[in-house]
Amino acid sequence: MNANQLFNMISRMVLRRLVNKGVNAGINRAVKGRNTAGDGQTHHADTPEELTPAERKQARQARRVAKRARQAARAARRAGRL
């Protein structure tokens, strides 16, 4: 294996990890508990106490969906290695 192949292999590994972290961070940020006021701007609730029971339920459900999406992505990566 020559130096070019080693460099390509290592750079692919690093890039793959960075992209995966970015995707996970984007999913988490998109799913994070948000509530929208009537002014058209998105407001973040600082604590769970500021959320109504319906919003809490929706946030919990969104976190479950995000977790399942991460699990599915992980399983797909594992299956791709076979």
Total domains in the fold of the chain: 1
pLDDT of 36 above 80:
no
Any domain includes 82: yes
First to last CA, the chain: 23
- Structural domain harbouring 57: 53-82
Any domain includes 30: no
Q: Which residues lie across from 74 on neighbouring strands?
A: none
Instruction: Look at residue 35 in the predicted model and tell me its pLDDT.
Output: 52
Instruction: Look at residue 59 in the predicted model and tell me its pLDDT.
Output: 87
Any domain includes 28: no
b/e code 32-71 from CB counts within 10 Å (16+ = b) = ebeeeeeeeeeeebeeeeebeeeeeeebeebeeebeeeee
> What is the pTM for the complete model shown?
0.41
Any domain includes 33: no
